[in-house]
Amino acid sequence: MQTVSLGASDLRVTPICLGTMTFGEQVAELDAHAIMDRAIERGVTFFDTAEMYSVPPRAETFGATETIIGRWLAARPGMRQKIVLASKVAGPSRGMPWVRKGQGMTAADIEASCHASLKRLQTDVIDLYQIHWPERHVPAFGSLYYNPAQETSRTPIREQLEALARLVKAGKVRYIGLSNETPYGVHEFVRLAEQHGLPRIVSTQNPYCLISRGYDNALDETCHRLQVGLLAYSPLGFGLLTGKYDATGFHGPDAARGRMSLFERMKSQRWGRDSALAAARRYNQLARDHGLTPTQLALAFCYRSWRVASTIIGVTTMAQLEEDLDAWSVQLSDELLAACDAIRAEMRDPAN
Residues with catalytic roles: 53
C-alpha to C-alpha distance for 35 and 345, rounded to whole angstroms: 37
DSSP state, residue 200: P
Q: Name residues whose C-beta falls within 8 Å of residue 47's C-beta, 6 or more positions apart in sequence.
A: 17, 18, 20, 36, 39, 69, 83, 84, 85, 86
CA–CA distances in Å: residue 59 to residues 53, 63, 110, 255, 259:
10, 9, 19, 28, 18
Count of CA atoms in the C-beta half-sphere (13 A) of 161: 20
C-alpha to C-alpha distance for 122 and 70, rounded to whole angstroms: 5
Closest CA relative to residue 55, chosen from 47, 63, 43: 63
- 80 close to 47: Cβ distance less than 8 angstroms: no
Q: β-pairing, 201-207 with 84-89?
A: unpaired
- 175 close to 140: Cβ distance less than 8 angstroms: no
